[in-house]
Amino acid sequence: MTTQTLDYAELFVDGGWIRPAGTERITVTNPADGTAVGSAPLAGPTDVDHAVAAARRAFDDPDGWSSWTAEARAEALDRLADCLEKRADEMAVRVSRQNGVPLSTTMGAEGQFPVLVLRYYAELIRDLPVEVEQPARLGGTTVVRHDPIGVVAAIAPWNAPQALTSFKYAPALAAGCCVVIKPSPETVLDAALFAEAVAEAGLPPGVVNVLPGGRETGAYLVEHHGIDKVAFTGSTAAGRAVAQTCGRLLRPLTLELGGKSAAVFLDDVDLTAPGLAERLFAATLVNAGQVCYLGTRILAPRSRLDEIVEFVADMARTLILGDPLDPATQMGPLVSAAQRDRVESVIAHGVAEGGRIVAGGARPTGLAHGAYLQPTVFTGLPASSPVVREEIFGPVLTVLPHEGDDDAVRLANDSEYGLGGSVWTADAERGLQVARRVRTGTFGVNRYQVDPAAPFGGVKASGLGRELGPDGLRSYQSVKAIYR
């Protein structure tokens, strides 16, 4: 595995490398031990201007990317998928070293999932017509045409940088759009590897542009006059700011924001079912709880509350914490010491409110040099507690009792968020009935696993629009009706 420090002197623009206009740099720190793992130039307004101009040229050129046939674009997406697949192991290592997510997670999510997304969209556009002709109700015919929307600003977070970026660039490129990608400053080294893959795949200059930058760079990009659509994943607070800008500019946008999802246990759940603890971990605590769709509100039937609390607590206690690059590690550090400190303050608030910690609640021994925190399970908190209601983005679960299926649905819906969720039951049909009643964008029955071919997104404060699936492609297309 690669462990060297990675320093880049250029920005990743035009499918190649350019010197930045400024001299500021982004330094990336490994949260597992606090050491610097690399750096990259910080893109400023002039660099954004350069990248957007390159994307506009590539899109507006009569022979440019937007004019390519679906088959030609699909072949290019497949080439990019091949180039990323060759780099999958290195990509996983780079992500793990930057954000602390264990290799056991990044090998799939960051190394392989973007490849799957690209290949899905390559296959989809081969079969999906750009134009459909239909009879007009008042005589004649109408041609309904789906054109690429234009130049897209794609802004991704640090917690799953390659996976969440692929949610944006893959359908955008498939539709015929050009993209300007701004990765999070915490994860720019994997973005450089992605830029290398773009160059090797032979995509025309300007079709994909990558700009390492911070909040100011993102804000300038969102407001840039050359952008036709914004796709953003991040916090609800930041999403509201993006939405305000796009609303003022009447600019289309997709927002995938925060969550505080419910994991609903029904009274017939079999706690001895094979793999249940592993599947529950993936739905509630993966990536140290730093995933927006996780079901961090456990709702358990009062009649079985004690045994479910113990099951959840045992799942949390037995997780293996350690070096993200150790294949045996199940949970690494939080992304930074500052993030750990913030989560610790939330835990302290829960204790002050009278909550009882049944697992975790402290820093683990033997891991003093990293931003580690034990996975923590609370009981005894009221449903009105901020610990129960607000997104924590850390390894903290709360367990609340419910009085039956109807009450569980009520509690699950009693949230300003609506992104994920799950139900755990011995009766899959009963679980499906619960799933249909919870107001959320995605939901799992006895598991939670994002599907590239299905829409992903949230309702309420969890976002606007959908990524992935055919809906994700349509969000990067402008619909035109031609009457004849």
| Residue 291 and residue 391 in one domain | yes
User: Residue 4: its pLDDT value, please?
Assistant: 73
Does any domain span residue 103? yes
| Residue 350 and residue 471 in one domain | no
Does any domain span residue 160? yes
Here the tokens at position 368 are 């003093």
Which are the catalytic amino acids?
256, 292
Does any domain span residue 451? no
User: Residue 358: its pLDDT value, please?
Assistant: 98
Judging by DSSP bridges, how do beta strands 178-182 and 208-210 pair with one another?
A: parallel
CATH number at residue 313: 3.40.309.10
Does any domain span residue 454? no
Over residues 374-392, mean pLDDT = 97
**Is residue 287 over pLDDT 80?**
yes
| Residue 96 and residue 235 in one domain | yes
Over residues 400-406, mean pLDDT = 98
Over residues 31-37, mean pLDDT = 96
CA distances, 40 to each of 6, 159, 196, 213, 423 (Å): 8, 19, 14, 9, 43
Each residue of 314-333: pLDDT tens digit? Answer: 999 999 999 999 999 999 99
CA distances, 364 to each of 104, 318, 351, 361, 372 (Å): 20, 12, 18, 9, 7
Q: Which of 16, 4, 15, 9 is nearest to 41 (CA)?
A: 9
| Residue 160 and residue 188 in one domain | yes
| Residue 465 and residue 417 in one domain | no
Phi/psi for 97 (5° steps) reads -70, -25
**Is residue 3 over pLDDT 70?**
no
User: Residue 475: its pLDDT value, please?
Assistant: 98
User: Residue 14: its pLDDT value, please?
Assistant: 82
Q: Which of 433, 437, 441 is nearest to 467 (CA)?
A: 441
| Residue 184 and residue 298 in one domain | no
CA distances, 97 to each of 53, 105, 188, 191, 309 (Å): 33, 13, 11, 13, 33
Boundaries of domain holding 56: 6-257+460-483
Over residues 36-42, mean pLDDT = 96
**Is residue 313 over pLDDT 90?**
yes
**Is residue 253 over pLDDT 70?**
yes
| Residue 214 and residue 276 in one domain | no
Each residue of 78-133: pLDDT tens digit? Answer: 999 999 999 999 999 999 999 999 999 999 999 999 999 999 999 999 999 999 99
pLDDT cut 90: percent of the chain above it: 97
Each residue of 289-302: pLDDT tens digit? Answer: 999 999 999 999 99
Task: Give the long-range contacts of residues 268-276, CB within 8 A, separation 24 or more.
Answer: 268/425, 268/426, 268/427, 268/430, 269/304, 269/308, 269/424, 269/425, 269/426, 270/426, 271/307, 271/308, 271/311, 273/426, 273/446, 276/424, 276/446
Does any domain span residue 395? yes
**Is residue 2 over pLDDT 60?**
no
Does any domain span residue 308? yes
| Residue 432 and residue 468 in one domain | no
Other beta carbons within 10 Å of 327: 10
Does any domain span residue 238? yes
Over residues 360-389, mean pLDDT = 96
| SS3 per-residue string spanning the chain | CCCCCEECCCEECCCCCECCCCCCEEEEECCCCCCEEEEEECCCHHHHHHHHHHHHHHHHCCCCHHHCCHHHHHHHHHHHHHHHHHCHHHHHHHHHHHHCCCHHHHHHHHHHHHHHHHHHHHHHHHHCCCEEEEECCCCCEEEEEEEECCEEEEECCCCCHHHHHHHHHHHHHHHCCEEEEECCCCCCHHHHHHHHHHHHHCCCCCCEEECCCCHHHHHHHHHCCCCCEEEEECCHHHHHHHHHHHHHHCCCEEEECCCCCEEEECCCCCCCCCCHHHHHHHHHCHHHHCCCCCCCEEEEEHHHHHHHHHHHHHHHHCCCECCCCCCCCCECCCCCHHHHHHHHHHHHHHHHCCCEEEECCCCCCCCCCCCCCCCEEEECCCCCCHHHHCCCCCCEEEEEEECCHHHHHHHHHCCCCCCCCEEECCCHHHHHHHHHHCCCCCCEECCCCCCCCCCECCCHHHEECCECHHHHHHCCEEEEEEEC
Here the tokens at position 391 are 């997104």
Task: Please tell me whether the overall predicted TM-score, pTM, comes out greater than 0.75 for this model.
Answer: yes
User: Residue 5: its pLDDT value, please?
Assistant: 87
Does any domain span residue 1? no
Q: Which of 423, 130, 125 is nearest to 268 (CA)?
A: 423
CATH number at residue 479: 3.40.605.10
- Mean pLDDT score of the chain: 97
Instruction: Specify the number of domains making up the chain.
Output: 2
Over residues 454-468, mean pLDDT = 98
User: Residue 1: its pLDDT value, please?
Assistant: 46
Q: Which of 156, 151, 153, 180 is nearest to 166 (CA)?
A: 156
Each residue of 165-198: pLDDT tens digit? Answer: 999 999 999 999 999 999 999 999 999 999 999 9
| Residue 80 and residue 54 in one domain | yes
| Residue 406 and residue 386 in one domain | yes
Could you give the CA distance from residue 424 to residue 268 in angstroms, rounded to a whole number?
A: 9
Residue type, 472: G
Q: Which residues of 182-218 are buried (b: 16+ CB within 10 A; e: fewer)?
A: bbbbbbbbbbbbbbbbbbbbebbebbbbbbbbeeebb
| Residue 45 and residue 170 in one domain | yes
| Residue 171 and residue 53 in one domain | yes
